[in-house]
Amino acid sequence: MDGTLKIPSVTGIDVELRIAGPGGRSYAFVIDWHIRVLVALAWMMVSGFLYFGSLAALGAGEASPSDVGFIVVLPAVALYLLYHPVLEVLMRGRTPGKRMAGVRIVKRDGGVPGVGPLLIRNLFRLIDSLPFLYLVGLVATMLTKQCVRIGDIAAGTLLVYDEAYAGTFDDAPTSRGIERLGLERAELVRDLIARWPELRPDARAGLARRLLEREGPVPEGLHDDELRARLEQLLK
Amino acid sequence: MTGGPSMDKTSRWLEDRLPVWRDVGARLDAVERGRAAEPDDVVKVIAAYPEIARDLAIARREAPRGPLTRRLEQIYLELHRSIFRSPSHWRRDLVALFVRDAAEIAGSLRWQIVWVTALFFASASAGAWLINQYPELVGLFASEAMIEQVQSGQLWTEGLLNVVPSSLLAVQIFTNNIFVSLFALVVGIFYGLGTVYVIGMNGMLLGAVFSYTAQHGLAQRLFEFVAAHGFVELSVIMIAGACGVSLGEALARPGRETRVQAFQRASMRAAKLMVVCCTFLVGAGLIEGYISPNPTYSLTMRVSIGLGYLALFVIVLSGALGRLPRTAK
């Protein structure tokens, strides 16, 4: 269901971003919803306890309505309601939930949305959340080509998968490896070594064997560690 | 065993370019995260954009789906976003919104405002007539407790300050008013019909309640209560309604634009105008919390406050602030 968003540029080198579908969006929303509910509840409990001495005083109606309103209830409601608009503006189209789900909000040209579009997409939550459990929004993401809810249509935004930007290039293959294998295969070998512990022993042995066999015959019965050592040798 | 000359070339290219990419990444971080970026960083980042584009093209040729290509795509995308991002002058934009933009938008919506206001007063008249003819139907518009209070010769607003402190009351009121206004706006997405329904219902409610209180000799007291805050509050509801109708109009009659484009433009205009209107609703809420329920304020004072606040609202939305002579620097 996931499509792509093509970002044209003046250099003629375009980049494509993968559009997040209803699944990715819902996942981010559920995380964010839990965070804001927990933060709001935590505020109510901690502020109630610190200011009034005990939560029992709150329940027994001993505290004044003004104090309860301003210290306990209003900040909690504000935390809950302003979570998305404030964090999306401050984190440039992300929230903690979106970050965990690996998605972010972008404009139709792939750029970071400004305050206006972010506020509009949050304003239309009033419609997207109708009649309950964000049903309108969910149905809209299922029916629209770019998997957007009404708020995104109004604001001209969409959600894309966002790989964490890492500018270090520490895992780039070595020169020797590239000279020997070419960039593509050197990266494959580098990648396989990096993912070695995550893969099943039979799967990684099969992959290692296929890569090694391109460089020459590989004796049968090589142990897991020996295969890995031979791969590492290719890059040295 | 080693590869051919092209592999040597790729290896040298990677060796040459790796430090450049690391440097660009660090500078990009500095530009994006620092409040005031160093000019040298900015110049280097801009200069790097076409270079990284070329590197990306090479990487795509050599290893189309490899991690290096993905990494370069990320850097390239971040550069693209950073360079082509619209400048952010939020303080200046906010001032311009109150001084100029809101007036322009309100001016472009004048006919919608006229029609929505007419609808509101027509509905209010209908509500007033209905309750005048059939007082027993007041239960459709008011709660049991409200009706009982009015029947006993008291307004539900009296003694409000004994129950809830002004500060809390003000916050509750402006939060509720902002919610109602924004709701009246966004339901305009149903081709404007949602807004028409919300405005019509609010008009009927107001007319019905005024008519019912009039039957019990309390209309003047109700007017006294609403005089200080009601003018601006109602005006904002009308404007929110007009914005909602404009959303519906954009969907129904998009003109030369596509429906989506027209809808986005109408939403942006409406949101800008509502920022100004909601600011005034906060003020109206404070007046309603502190002044309206306080019996020490006379009717003259209340009307003066209400009209004065309305005049300020009109000044902002007429663009008069933007026409004020500026002091030369």
Looking at the complex, does the CB of residue A178 fall below 8 Å from at least one CB of chain B? yes
> Which stretches of chain A score pLDDT less than 50?
1
Report the 10 Å Cβ neighbour count for A214.
10
For an interface test with B, the pick among A5, A11, A107, A136 (most B C-beta atoms closer than 10 Å) comes out as A11
- Inter-chain contact A178–B165, Cβ cutoff 8 Å? no
Task: Please tell me the distance in Å from A235's CA to the nearest CA on chain B.
Answer: 11
Task: Classify residue B152 by its DSSP letter.
Answer: T
Q: Which of B80, B185, B267 sits opposite A7 (nearest CB)?
A: B80
Looking at the complex, does the CB of residue B24 fall below 8 Å from at least one CB of chain A? yes
Q: What is the mean pLDDT of residues B260-271?
A: 96
Task: Please tell me the distance in Å from A154's CA to the nearest CA on chain B.
Answer: 5
- Inter-chain contact A65–B67, Cβ cutoff 8 Å? no
Instruction: Give the Cα separation of B145 and B159 in Å (integer).
Output: 14
For an interface test with B, the pick among A143, A181, A183 (most B C-beta atoms closer than 10 Å) comes out as A183
Site of tokens 């992300």: A94
**Is pLDDT at B211 greater than 80 in this prediction?**
yes
Q: Cα torsion at A126, A150, B82, B91 (round to 10°)?
A: -40
Looking at the complex, does the CB of residue B7 fall below 8 Å from at least one CB of chain A? yes
C-alpha atoms less than 13 angstroms from C-alpha of A160 in its C-beta half-sphere: 23
- Inter-chain contact B21–A163, Cβ cutoff 8 Å? no
pLDDT value of position A95 = 96
C-alpha atoms less than 13 angstroms from C-alpha of A112 in its C-beta half-sphere: 22
Q: What crossing angle do the helices spanning B259-290 and B299-318 adopt, rounded to 10°?
A: 150
pLDDT value of position A213 = 87
Q: Which of B11, B165, B267 sits opposite A120 (nearest CB)?
A: B267
Q: Which of A15, A119, A187 sits opposite B271 (nearest CB)?
A: A119
pLDDT value of position A60 = 67
Q: Cα torsion at B201, B204, B208, B211 (round to 10°)?
A: 160
Chain A residues whose beta carbon lies within 8 Å of the beta carbon of residue B88 = 114
Q: What is the mean pLDDT of residues B148-153?
A: 88
Q: Cα torsion at B81, B84, B85, B89 (round to 10°)?
A: 160
pLDDT tens for each residue of B295-314: 899 999 999 999 999 999 99
Burial class (CB in 10 A: 0-12, 13-18, 19+), A202: exposed
Chain B residues whose beta carbon lies within 8 Å of the beta carbon of residue A156 = 264
Instruction: Work out the pLDDT band at B49, boundaries 50, 70, 90.
Output: very high
Q: Where are the domains of chain B?
A: 8-84, 91-323
B residues 126..165 contacting A (CB < 8 A): 164-165
Is the pLDDT higher at B37 or at B227? B227
Is the pLDDT higher at A231 or at B117? B117
Q: What crossing angle do the helices spanning B299-318 and B219-252 adopt, rounded to 10°?
A: 20
A residues 31..90 contacting B (CB < 8 A): 64-66, 69-70, 74
Instruction: Give the Cα separation of B272 and B101 in Å (integer).
Output: 8
Highest mean pLDDT among A10-19, B25-34, B79-88: A10-19
Instruction: Work out the pLDDT band at B329, boundaries 50, 70, 90.
Output: very low
pLDDT value of position B238 = 96
Instruction: Give the Cα separation of B163 and B276 in Å (integer).
Output: 31
- Inter-chain contact B67–A112, Cβ cutoff 8 Å? no
- Inter-chain contact A112–B18, Cβ cutoff 8 Å? no
pTM attached to this predicted model: 0.85
- Inter-chain contact B8–A179, Cβ cutoff 8 Å? yes
Instruction: Work out the pLDDT band at B34, boundaries 50, 70, 90.
Output: low
The mean predicted confidence, pLDDT, of chain B is 89
Give the ipTM: 0.86
Q: Among the listed ranges B1-10, B31-40, B97-106, B174-183, which one has the minimum average pLDDT value?
A: B1-10
pLDDT value of position A61 = 66
Report the 10 Å Cβ neighbour count for B324.
9
pLDDT value of position B1 = 46
Give the residues across from A157 on adjacent strands: A107
pLDDT value of position B157 = 78
Instruction: Give the Cα separation of B154 and B293 in Å (integer).
Output: 13
**Is pLDDT at B268 greater than 70 in this prediction?**
yes
- Among chain B residues, the shortest Cα distance to A90 is held by B33
Closest by CA to A28, choosing from A97, A77, A81, is A97
